[in-house]
A and B are shown apart, each in its own frame.
Chain A
Amino acid sequence: MELRKNRIKQRLRDGKHVIAIENMNDADSVEQFAPNNPHCFWFEGEHFIVNPQNIGDLTRAADLINATSIVRVPRPEYQLIYHAFDLGAQGVAVPHVKSRADAELVVKSSKFSPIGQRGMFTSRQGIGVEDYFRKANDETFILVFIEDLEAIENLDEILEVDNIDVFFVGPGDLSQELGHIGEQNHPEVNKVVQETINRITKKGRVAGTVANIYSYEWAMQTGARFFLSGTLDWIGKGFNEFKELSEKL
């Protein structure tokens, strides 16, 4: 059996954008999204219900509709990261990476030797795949969050770490430290996000950030190519418009 390709790694290599869809931590909902041919689903394990009990079901649904699955793990921790891969994630997103050592730990946890020391186990993605351990590294996707001022200070050395596919500038946590809590798109937050994205892309690396219903046009013109977007925004817009119209009848 062939190892399942990582669609978003290929898209990013081809210079294309990726939209990762969140708010869909339900396998049946993921599968229903198939007609839209989504690139990628984002399963939320830092702030939401995703955990080892449901990663298999969620990522299987994404596999079946040919969308790449990313699991955000709760923290940069060795076993947590490879456990997500073992259960079927094709990518991990790791929050609060603040230093070169943190970034290196993420790579070590995600890649088998010779790149890293991911715990030896055949993932769901490796069932029946010949030579899985030699092929897996090519199809695993790594995203690290740059979302602390400390990380921005250490950005140059973090960007020296190879095998990280996306450096995601997280405006939510940055807004706290910048004194604008909850204002993800406050001009000062936008300024820091934009400058950080510039530094990432200048080094030839791929940047990502949040693209919500208020910010997507801005975000998609920052130079970032990876975007995190939620279905809840879209449902809210559609439903609010409907409700308003129906109440006027």
Chain B
Amino acid sequence: MENRHIEAIVGQLHHQLGVDVTNAVDVFDCIRRLEVYLHFRPLKNLMGAYLNPDGRTPGILINSKHPLQLQRYTAAHELGHFWLNHEPTTDAVIGVSSDDAGFTQMGQEERDAELFAALFLMPSELVAHCATKIGIDPHGHNQVSNEEVLMLSLLLGTSYKATTNRIRSLGLIDADYRAMLQKRQPQDIKKAVGGFKPEGLVDHKITWNHVVVMDARSHSSSVLLEPDQVVQICLDTRATSGHIWECASAPEGVQIHWSTQRLAAPDVIGAGVRNVFTIVGMRPEVFILRFIERRPWQPERIRNEYLVRIQVQHARRGIDIGQLVC
């Protein structure tokens, strides 16, 4: 199937489902609305599967042990198999192709499902919208940094790798630049932005997969969060002028921990500092947080503002009862 044909199919499906292309696409909700059973189970090697044993009762199985972004991509891939009328299939490897040659070597249906998933989760309008929001020039070429790709992936709800592949297909970067971006691991980028593993805040061992790192570029954006993840918002300020960042509104249901990092060696005079807010969502809910930068003795003079909408997801397991009681 030609790429532009799949693009048209995805566009029609977005239109049919009334998908909002200014926020991360809720692929799980889309699957349920298409009356495809969506089942989250802890699997071993499988990422997911599309089944349809009687030809009229389709179902998608997702490995619940995987990170949210990977589950979303797998779900979109399996939705592609369903919507493109492919044979039922299991998928042990999805989205592994990090270069154009690897993509070409896939079977036709796999390629089509991969393309469907990328277009479904990252339609060009959404990528352009999110890129503009974080200051990436949507018409620039090879001008996006690792940190910007990481922020973009957060807003899109996709993995760092899938995001680099998509901006490559949109022509924002070339193949060599993508290879350069993919050489750097997301955890190293998170550290560079100011993230760290906040041990002791949650009752499980924190890995980098549990840490979502954002900075000022993601102002006024929305992020999906797993129940066991924490968000770190890293906001730089000029401490020598007396400015600090503080949380202006802390809704019930979130824990906020504050820390500060110097941005230069201790003997450098006038260096800025980074205020890091580590946020733990205590229950599945949407939280809107507002941070302001000001001098404590001039509370009415706000220098900067940072807003974020954090949507803490329900733990996904089994089949949503809404699908079963229909």
Q: Do A and B come from one complex?
A: no
Chain B residues engaging chain A, CB cutoff 8 angstroms: none
